[in-house]
Structure 1
C-alpha cells in the first residue's frame, strides 16, 4: 500500500497533481479540477504536503547558477536542492525545483537522485537554446514580413522552398503551412507574387514543365564542299510571317514542275552528334510569347535559313501535280538557291500575278482532292501573342489565301516524300491520324468547334497510315528541319539515301521518334499554358477591355464562348434566348493569373 497521504504533491506523467484520497487506488486532482484514479506506480512524490491548491504552484526565481556550481560532481535530491535554490522546501518550491530539473539546463535526474550537469553540457545547452530562440525570433519576423508582402533580400533564400513548390519540385512548404494556405503551386505562385519574390507577370510554366530553356551552343562547322544542283536561276520565295526568324522552306515553279526547297539542316547536323542528341531531347523549338528557344544552335539557322545568305543550301523536292491533284514524279536534290523572303501579306497582294497565280491554281486543285478524301477545313480563331518588356500584344491572324497556299505546297512535299520513301523502303517518321467517328464538313464556328473535339491526336509512327484530317493516304513532315526534330530525322535519312550511305533501321527510327515526341509534347503544353498566361496579363492590364464572343456550345444556361480577337475559350452562364453561333459582348469579371483562369460576364 502507498505511503502517500491526502494533500501530497505528486508528479503524474509530466503534470503536477494533488493527492485527494488514498485507498486501493490513489485519487488525484489535476490542474483544472479534474479527478483521476491511478495506481501507486503511476505517480512520483515531490512533497508530502499539505498542498492547499494547485494554483499556488507558480514560477519562482532563485539562486540557480550558484548552487549548480556548488554541487558540481555531487548528487542531491529534490528536498535539498529546493532548500539550496529557493531557501525552503514547500510544495510550491518543490514544484519549482522539479521544473528546474526537468528543464534540463543545469540539472538532470529523478526527484531522489538529481545530478548537476557538466559545465560543457550546460554551455552547449544554453548555446543551443539561444540559437533556437534567435531562430524563432527571426522566423517570426520573417513571417510578419511575408504577411505584409514586404520581404528583405535575405528572405529570398527562405522563400526558395515556396518557389520549389510552385515549380513542382516539392510538394510541401513550412511557410504555406504557417500561413494556413493550401500547399499547391497556385497558392505558392500567389504568395511569391505578393511578396515580390516573383514579378507580377512571372511565367512559371517553362520551369514547371521542366523544358530546356537554354540556348544550344555547340560548335558548328562550315558547310562541306559537295555536288549541289544549281537552281539559282529559279525564282524561289520564302513566304512567312513578317517577324519569322527561322525560314526553313521556300517554293518555286518551273513550267508544270513544282519545287519545295527546305533548309538542308542534315548537311551540318549529323546523326548522333552532340547537336543531334540535344535536338532529339528537345523535340522542337519552344515558341513563347516573350522569346524563342531553338532546338539547334542559332548559327545553324544563320548558315542554313533560306534567304539569310546570298546563296542558300537546300534540299529541294521537285514533283508534278496531276489534273486530279495527285503528287508524282518526285525528285530530291541538294541544291543552291537564291531566295527572296516575303510576308504572307505581300504574297496575298500578288496572287493574281505570276508565279503565284499558277501556284494558287495548283493548290486549289490539290485541296479539292484532299477534301474529297475527307480532309476537314477547320478555321478556328488564331492569334499571335508577343510579350516584350511586360507589354503584351495580341494580333489575330488573318485568313489569307497565301497562307493556305503555302500550307498546301508543304503538304504536297510531305506527301511526295512519304511515297518516295515507301517506294524505296527508306525508314522515316510518318504523321498519321485516325478518322473521326462521324466525318463532316463543318461550315460554321460552332460546328467546327464541335468537330475538332472529335479529332484523334496526330501520331508519329514508322508505319505509313492515313492522315484523316489532311485527307492524305501517307504523309511525312519534312519542311521544318530547323524547328522540328522529326523533320530533321527524315532529312538525315534522305541524305544518307542520296549519298549511298547506311540508313538508320526501323527500330532506331522508332526509338528516336519516341525520344523527340516526349520533348515535343512538353513544349506544346508549355506553349499552350504560357499563351494563356500572357492572354490573362493582356486582359488584366486593360481593365476597360470588352470583346465579342461567339457561342459554340451550350447546355442549359452554361455556354462555351470563343473570343476571336484573343483566341480564348471562355465558360460562362447565360440567361435568355441564345443559339449557337450567336454573338455576345463580354467583359472579364475576375482574372486569376496564378490559377490561369478568367471569368467573364455579359455586357
Structure 2
C-alpha cells in the first residue's frame, strides 16, 4: 500500500459510518498484500503523529475530532482517568497512555477520538495540553534512598510518586509526612519532581493526620498580614453611626439556637404569634457592615469561599475577631443584622416578606438539645421546672416555633421537597486528637425548626430578588441524570418497588413518593444511597434555575454570611436595594463580577466538602484500628463483584472480601445485588443483619476490612 494513499485511508477512518478497526482489519479491508503491511503501519503511525487519528485501549484506530475540549481531569487509583466537560453529562474516558503529565484536578484540553454511540460505550479521549495546574503542592509520605528520595502522595488519585533530589529533602526522615512543591510535572514517561517545603511529622503524631488533609487540599489556615492588620481596626462593639436607619428589634424576645460547640452564630429568631398567624423574624449577622467590598478581608474571604469544619478544628472564612466576635450574634450584646421579616397565616402560608437592616440583642443562646427537651415535653405543663424558671415566657415561644415549623415542613413536603434518610457522623476526640467514639449526629425537632425558618428566609429573599430583576447569586440544583434514575428504577423493580419515569422526565414529587414507599424497608439505606448518587450537586449560579431537591423555583443562601461567601455577597446586593433601586453603575459592576463569585464559591465549597469527608473517613479508620479483632452487629449496605459492604450502627462501613468467605465458593449476582454460595446455596442480601469481626485497617487508604463471624 503506497504512502501517497494516506489521504484515502484517513478519509475512510474519518467517515461517520466507520467502524473502528485494528491494523490487521484495515489491511484485510483494503486487500493490502503481506509484503506491504509494513507501509500500512508507517502510514497509520504518521497519521497518529499528525494528530489526525488515535489508537484506543483495544488497539483500534479512530479519528480525532478537530475540536479540542477543555475540562477537569479526574484521576483514579487504577491508572486511567476521566475528563468532565461543562454541559456534558457523560465524562470522557482517558486511557492511561493518553494521560500525559496531567494530575487529578488539572484543567486540561482533550481531543475526543471516540464518541458515545450507545449506552455501553463511553467517549474516549487524549489529553493534549494541561491548561492549568491544580497541584502546585502535594502531601505524602517521604521515602528515603541513598542518593535521592521520593514522596508517595496521600491522594492515590494522583497516580504517581514524586522524585526528590537529595539536596531538596529539607532533612525529612524516612516515613515522615511532608509537603512538596512540584518543580517539574514530567511528561508522562518521566516521574514528576519536587522539593520538600514543609515536614509535618510522623503519621500518628497528634494533629499530623488532619493537617495532612488540610495541606493536601490547599486550604489556607493563617491569614495574611494585611488581613490581620485590617482586622485589628474592627471595633469590638457596634457604633452609633451604624444605627442610623435601622429598625430596632432589641425589645423583642430573641434567641439563637445552635449546636453546643458553635461559636460563629449567624442567625437569631424572633417570633410573635398573632390572631391571624405568625410574624417571624430571621435576623442574620450584618457582616458587610464590617467587611467592605474590595478590602483585604473581603478578598481573602472570596479566596477561601467557606469555613471548613474538621473533626478537631474550624478553619474560618473570616478572622476570629469577626466570626466569633463583632459579627457573631452573641447573647446580651447589641448586634447589627440584615433581617428577613415574614408573615404567615394560621396554616403556615407566607403572606408577605420584607428585608430590613436591624439592630437586635439576643436574650438567650439556646442549644438544639435544650430546645429539643423543652418541645419534646409536648406541652408547657410537662416542661421540667428548671427550664420554666430559667426561660420563662420563652418556653411558649419555643412551642409556637414548633407549631409554625411543622406547618412549613408539611407544605414543603407537599410541594415535592425530597427528604433523604442519610445519617451524618459525629467524631468524638480525646485531648490528643485521637478518636474515642463515633456516633450518629444527634438531631431533634429543634434542628427542624431552624432548618425550616432558614429555608423560608432563603426562598423569600431569592423570590423578591428575582422579581426585582437585579444581579444575584442563586443556589440551584439541576434535575438528576436521567440514565442514573432509570438505573435506579430498574434496581428498585428487582425488589418490588416502583419508581415511575414519565416521558423521560423525573419530578421531585415522584422521587419523594418513591423514598416514602421505602420507609421501614430493609433496602431503604441502599436505595436511598443510589437515589442520592443519581442527584447532581447543588451549586451557585447567576441564573435562577430552581432547586430540584427542595422543589423550589426560587432559592438562595442568605443565612450564613459569617461562613459562606455567597451569603456575604448577596447581603451587599440586598442592602443596595432596600427602599431604592440599584444605581446603573453598580448594576453593571455586579453583572461583571457575580459569574466568578458563583463559580469560585461552588468550587471552594466542593473542596471543603471533600476535605471534611476525608477527615471523617480517616477518623473512622483510626477508631476501628484500635478495635481489630472485635465483633459488631451491622447491616449489608452494598454488594459488588469483589465484596460485601457492611455498615455498623455507628455509621462505620467496611468490606468483606468474597475471597475471605471460607465456608463456600461465593459468586455475586450483580443485577440482583446478592451473593450466593456455589455448594450450600447460602445467600447474603442487601439489608441483611450480620455479625462481623474487624480484620484489618489501612489508615493510608482509609479502608476497613471485615470478616463474617458465624
TM-score (norm 1): 0.66
**Number of residues of Structure 1 aligned to a counterpart in Structure 2:** 444
The corresponding residue for 1:317 is 340
Alpha-carbon separation, structure 1, partners of 2:631 and 2:256: 37
Per the alignment, do residues 166 and 296 of structure 1 end up closer, same or farther by CA in structure 2, a change over 3 Å counting?
closer
Q: Give the superposition deviation at 1:553.
A: 3.0
Q: Give the superposition deviation at 1:529.
A: 0.9
Q: Give the superposition deviation at 1:164.
A: 8.7
Alpha-carbon separation, structure 2, partners of 1:200 and 1:569: 24
Q: Give the superposition deviation at 1:417.
A: 0.5
1:348 aligns to 2:390 (yes or no): no
Q: Give the superposition deviation at 1:475.
A: 0.6
Q: Give the superposition deviation at 1:221.
A: 2.5
Q: Over residues 366-399 of structure 1, what are the superposed CA-to-partner deviations in whole Å (9 max), with x where a residue is unaligned? A: 2222222221111212122254423224332123
Extract unaligned runs of 5+ from structure 2: 1-143, 150-166, 381-395, 486-505, 659-674, 676-681
Alpha-carbon separation, structure 1, partners of 2:532 and 2:693: 26
Q: 1:7-406 maps to which residues of 2 (within 5 A)?
A: 140=146, 157-159=170-172, 169=182, 193=202, 201=209, 203-215=211-223, 217=228, 218-219=230-231, 220-222=233-235, 223-224=238-239, 225=241, 226-255=244-273, 256-301=278-323, 302-322=325-345, 325-339=348-362, 340-351=364-375, 352=378, 353=380, 354-387=396-429, 388-393=431-436, 394-406=438-450
1:568 aligns to 2:652 (yes or no): yes
Q: Give the superposition deviation at 1:550.
A: 2.6
Q: Is the 8 A contact 2:249 2:360 kept in 1?
A: yes
1:484 aligns to 2:564 (yes or no): yes
Per the alignment, do residues 490 and 556 of structure 1 end up closer, same or farther by CA in structure 2, a change over 3 Å counting?
same
Per the alignment, do residues 264 and 515 of structure 1 end up closer, same or farther by CA in structure 2, a change over 3 Å counting?
same
Q: Give the superposition deviation at 1:450.
A: 2.1
The corresponding residue for 1:495 is 575
The corresponding residue for 2:36 is none
1:450 aligns to 2:530 (yes or no): yes
Per the alignment, do residues 571 and 164 of structure 1 end up closer, same or farther by CA in structure 2, a change over 3 Å counting?
closer
Q: Give the superposition deviation at 1:265.
A: 0.7
Alpha-carbon separation, structure 1, partners of 2:265 and 2:206: 35
The corresponding residue for 2:140 is none
Q: Give the superposition deviation at 1:482.
A: 0.4
Extract unaligned runs of 5+ from structure 1: 1-137, 144-153
Report SS of the residue matched to 2:442.
coil
TM-score (norm 2): 0.57
Q: Over residues 416-448 of structure 1, what are the superposed CA-to-partner deviations in whole Å (9 max), with x where a residue is unaligned? A: 101121122232211111233454231232332
Alpha-carbon separation, structure 1, partners of 2:592 and 2:221: 30
The corresponding residue for 2:614 is 529
Per the alignment, do residues 166 and 359 of structure 1 end up closer, same or farther by CA in structure 2, a change over 3 Å counting?
same
The corresponding residue for 2:458 is 414
Q: Is the 8 A contact 2:333 2:361 kept in 1?
A: yes
Per the alignment, do residues 525 and 142 of structure 1 end up closer, same or farther by CA in structure 2, a change over 3 Å counting?
closer
Per the alignment, do residues 172 and 202 of structure 1 end up closer, same or farther by CA in structure 2, a change over 3 Å counting?
farther
Alpha-carbon separation, structure 1, partners of 2:420 and 2:181: 36
Q: Over residues 440-468 of structure 1, what are the superposed CA-to-partner deviations in whole Å (9 max), with x where a residue is unaligned? A: 23123233222211211102111112211
Alpha-carbon separation, structure 2, partners of 1:588 and 1:169: 38
Report SS of the residue matched to 1:379.
coil
Report SS of the residue matched to 1:524.
helix
Per the alignment, do residues 583 and 405 of structure 1 end up closer, same or farther by CA in structure 2, a change over 3 Å counting?
farther
1:511 aligns to 2:596 (yes or no): yes
Alpha-carbon separation, structure 2, partners of 1:206 and 1:312: 33
User: Pairwise CA RMSD of aligned residues?
Assistant: 3.5
Q: Is the 8 A contact 1:382 1:564 kept in 2?
A: no
Alpha-carbon separation, structure 2, partners of 1:341 and 1:384: 22
Q: Is the 8 A contact 1:247 1:305 kept in 2?
A: yes
**Structure with greater Cα Rg:** 1
Per the alignment, do residues 428 and 545 of structure 1 end up closer, same or farther by CA in structure 2, a change over 3 Å counting?
farther
Alpha-carbon separation, structure 2, partners of 1:571 and 1:200: 27
The corresponding residue for 2:679 is none
Per the alignment, do residues 141 and 573 of structure 1 end up closer, same or farther by CA in structure 2, a change over 3 Å counting?
closer
Q: Is the 8 A contact 2:637 2:645 kept in 1?
A: yes
| Residue of structure 2 aligned with 1:578, choices 684, 688, 696 | 684
Q: Give the superposition deviation at 1:200.
A: 7.3
